[in-house]
């Protein structure tokens, strides 16, 4: 890890990207503090995955990006991979590799030209497999794993790069509830115990509220809001972003909001009820017999 915590992990200035004539990222500027759990949220098509790929150096973007205080272009690809690791949403399943072999591939940025694993590489891989709780799976083939197990394997591979910053695109997608919490708890543990900066995309607003230090809410390729979960997950901002009714209230579990989706038919009834109450037509507030 890079010592010191003085400069942001990532500094984005005037980031823009598009496909042909279609702009996808529109003049984005923000910073991610070191040690942050930073979560991108927003509707489909808002630019979250494109932004993550630009941060990972997979696609180009106009503007500037600093990584740990240095311009990204000042790093070689190998040097950058020692600071930033990327876990995509679509994980490859067709590799005939064992878990141990896949995890060891994360050591490539630390190896010489010939790419032979050293004793240190093996030791790092074993330690990371223990941290991510995949040691018992070390000799299993990737295509024999569950979704949650596979996600932990690719997080372990990324951690073998010994990065300062871990980028993940929807790491809980397609996982059941128990595996979602396992993955998020692992990321929280990596942040707390190793000081790794976590930047991820999530469609689950309640997971974002519970785990995120700061949230970046995107809409149409731009930033709608950036701040704490309490500042970002508000009724008006969520309605503006998603175009539907999402109720927010204080969670009984802590100082963060809880978001509830509201079906259209229920939202319509609630609006009708409020209108009737405002007009003095309902004698008893919330009387279902008076709903239309």
What is 1-83+165-228's CATH superfamily?
P-loop containing nucleotide triphosphate hydrolases (3.40.50.300)
Compute CA distances 49 → 14, 63, 263, 265, whole Å: 17, 17, 27, 32
Q: What is the pLDDT of residue 285?
A: 43
Tokens 């032979």 belong to 116
User: Could you tell me the pTM of the whole model?
Assistant: 0.85
Residues in the chain: 292
Run of H or E residues at 260: strand 257-261
Measured CA to CA, the distance from residue 22 to residue 38 in angstroms comes to 27
Q: What is the pLDDT of residue 279?
A: 65
Run of H or E residues at 231: helix 229-232
DSSP 83: T
Would you list the domain boundaries of the chain?
1-83+165-228, 90-162
For 123, the token pair is 């030791």
Neighbour-count burial of 159, counting CB atoms closer than 10 A to its CB (0-12 exposed, 13-18 middle, 19+ buried): buried
Going from the first residue of the chain to its last (292 residues), give the mean pLDDT of each consecutive group of 10, the final group possibly shorter.
68 91 91 98 95 92 94 92 91 82 91 75 93 94 89 93 95 89 93 96 97 98 97 94 91 94 80 65 46 44
Q: What is the pLDDT of residue 62?
A: 93
In DSSP terms, 98 is beta-bridged to 141
Task: Yes or no: say if 198 and 211 are a contact pair by the CB < 8 Å rule.
Answer: no
Is the four-CA dihedral 41, 47, 49, 55 of positive or negative sign?
Answer: negative
Nearest to 201 by CA among 83, 62, 56: 56
Measured CA to CA, the distance from residue 60 to residue 80 in angstroms comes to 15
């Amino acid at each position: 890890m890079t010592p010191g915590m003085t400069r942001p992990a990532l500094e984005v200035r005037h980031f823009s990207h598009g496909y042909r004539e279609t702009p996808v990222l529109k003049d984005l500027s923000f910073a991610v503090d070191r040690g942050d759990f930073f979560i991108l949220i927003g509707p489909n098509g808002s630019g979250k995955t494109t932004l993550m790929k630009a941060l990972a150096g997979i696609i180009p973007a106009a503007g500037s990006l600093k990584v740990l205080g240095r311009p990204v272009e000042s790093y070689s690809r190998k040097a950058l991979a020692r600071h930033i690791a990327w876990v995509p949403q679509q994980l490859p399943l067709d590799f005939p590799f064992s878990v141990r072999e896949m995890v060891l591939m994360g050591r490539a940025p630390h190896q010489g030209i010939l790419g032979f694993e050293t004793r240190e590489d093996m030791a790092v891989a074993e330690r990371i497999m223990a941290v991510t709780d995949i040691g018992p799976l070390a000799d299993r083939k990737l295509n024999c794993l569950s979704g949650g197990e596979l996600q932990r394997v690719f997080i372990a591979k990324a951690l073998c790069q010994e990065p300062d910053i871990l980028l993940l695109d929807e790491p809980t997608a397609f996982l059941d509830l128990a595996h979602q919490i396992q993955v998020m708890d692992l990321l929280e543990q990596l942040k707390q115990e190793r000081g790794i900066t976590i930047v991820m995309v999530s469609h689950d607003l309640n997971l974002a509220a519970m785990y995120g230090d700061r949230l970046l809410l995107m809409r149409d390729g731009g930033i709608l809001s950036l701040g704490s979960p309490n500042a970002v997950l508000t009724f008006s901002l969520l309605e503006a972003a998603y175009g539907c009714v999402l109720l927010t209230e204080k969670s009984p579990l802590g100082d963060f909001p809880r978001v509830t989706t509201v079906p259209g038919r229920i939202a319509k009834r609630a609006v009708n009820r409020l209108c009737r109450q405002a007009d003095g037509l309902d004698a008893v507030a919330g009387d279902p017999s008076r709903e239309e």
